[in-house]
Amino acid sequence: MSIRHHLTDQLLMAYAAGDLPEAFNLVVATHVSLCDECRARLASYEAVGGAMLEGADVAEMSDDSLAACLDRIDGLSQANARRPLKRAGIFPAPLADYIGGGPNKVKWRNLGMGVKQAILPTGKDASARLLYIPGGQAVPDHGHRGLELTLVLQGAFRDETDRFGPGDIEIADEAMEHTPIAESGEVCICLAATDAPLRFNAIIPRLAQPFLRI
Amino acid sequence: MTADWAALVLRVRDDQDRAAFAALFRHFAPRVKAFLMKSGADATLAEECAQDVMATLWQKAHLFDPSRASVATWVFTIARNRRIDALRKARRPEPEELPWGPEPEPDQAEVLEAQQDTERLGAALSQLPDKQRALIERAFYGDLSHSEIAAETGLPLGTIKSRIRLALDRLRQQMS
């Protein structure tokens, strides 16, 4: 996979620090699963956290805390640690974990013109969804009032700025006006997240139209 | 001055060595507790979570890769995840683990590099202007939203990134 569009430093640092809403965490974790470049950049920001922890103040633990911790460890075995999550087809492990499997497990909802979406269960401060866009169709507008991340998992889309293929992430803020269209050929499947409030009543009729613009 | 924390974690991993664990606990638990208190936990919750973090270190010692991260960095990631879970009650999806595990006999030069990264970064942090350092600290204490973060840290992160990137390329080649 040759990835050309990466995460920003701001998003990687926020993810390393633990400052992102769950839906953005999911997109970042999914992209990093596919991209060694961003995995290495993320590790460098986590090293900042390590250096802070090492150099920071200490808060004394109570006298019996080590003994209490050792007691707890007796009840744990290293082998019982949670098994690593598995990739499922085009879904890297963190995404497969939300779906409970690969693309055939997604509960799609039709939006018209062959376009489908599935909203994923995340915390309410941002929302995440999978999008299924046949070639030639517009990618449904899923934000534009906040920060919007769109990660391609299969196929590709193009907009005024560039082409986005598997593993590429487009990061758009409210200032960006663009009309992404899925390339002909393989169906384009994307994971998208936005921190704009979901407005179901307003969005769904809009999504039902092809080549929608606001 | 600097103990060889990575060697102690490997002793926990290979021999369930309690003396090694105790040394790690005495060094890291009070730091984790302070970190969690700065992130908004009261002393009781922070102490309890610091014990959780250290128990996780015991349980996940086989996943620690000393050639990619220092022990301090690894403990930070465990503490961060505990903070999100306990204080924000949110889920945090994690990247897929790499298809190879940590090497059983890590390259000593790489291990040393990873430990030294933490020291170098610590020195660089202490030399930043107060205002800039305070912003980075607030970000890592979970006190800033993502839109408030300025990623221009003024810290030498490029060398760390390049070193890890090279190691990932080499391991992927060995795997294929």
Tens-place pLDDT, residues B92-145: 999 998 888 788 788 888 889 999 999 999 999 999 999 999 999 999 998 898
Residue B96: which of A53, A80, A94 has the nearest Cβ? A94
Give yes or no for residue A208 having a pLDDT over 50. no
Residue in A89, A99, A92, A82 with CA at minimum distance from that of residue A38? A92
Min distance A136 CA to chain B CA atoms (Å): 32
> At A197, is the pLDDT very low, low, confident or very high (cuts 50, 70, 90)?
low
**pTM, 2 dp:** 0.92
Radius of gyration of chain B (CA): 17
* Summary mean pLDDT of chain B: 91
| Angle between the N-to-C axes of helices B18-38 and B71-87, in degrees from 0 to 180, rounded to the nearest 10 | 50
Give yes or no for residue B69 having a pLDDT over 80. yes
- Contact between A9 and A37 under an 8 Å Cβ cutoff? The reply is no
Chain A residue numbers with beta carbons less than 8 Å from the beta carbon of B157 are 41, 44-45, 47-48
**Chain A (85-114) residues lying within 8 Å, Cβ to Cβ, of chain B:** 85, 87, 92-95, 97-98
**pLDDT above 70 coverage of chain A, percent:** 86
In this prediction, residue B42 carries a pLDDT of 95
**Chain A (138-197) residues lying within 8 Å, Cβ to Cβ, of chain B:** 147
Give yes or no for residue A59 having a pLDDT over 70. yes
In this prediction, residue A162 carries a pLDDT of 92
Which is it for strands A188-194 and A127-133: parallel, antiparallel or unpaired? antiparallel
Q: Average the pLDDT over B4-11 and give the result.
A: 94
CA separation for the pair A137, B139 (Å, rounded): 40
Q: A191 φ, ψ to 5°? A: -105, 125
Per the rule left: phi > 0, alpha: psi between -120 and 50, beta: everything else, B89 is left
In this prediction, residue A200 carries a pLDDT of 45
- Contact between A102 and A151 under an 8 Å Cβ cutoff? The reply is no
Give yes or no for residue B76 having a pLDDT over 80. yes
> At A212, is the pLDDT very low, low, confident or very high (cuts 50, 70, 90)?
very low
ipTM of this complex: 0.95
**Chain A (3-62) residues lying within 8 Å, Cβ to Cβ, of chain B:** 8-14, 17-22, 24-26, 29-30, 32-33, 36-37, 39-62
Q: Give the DSSP letter of residue B145.
A: -
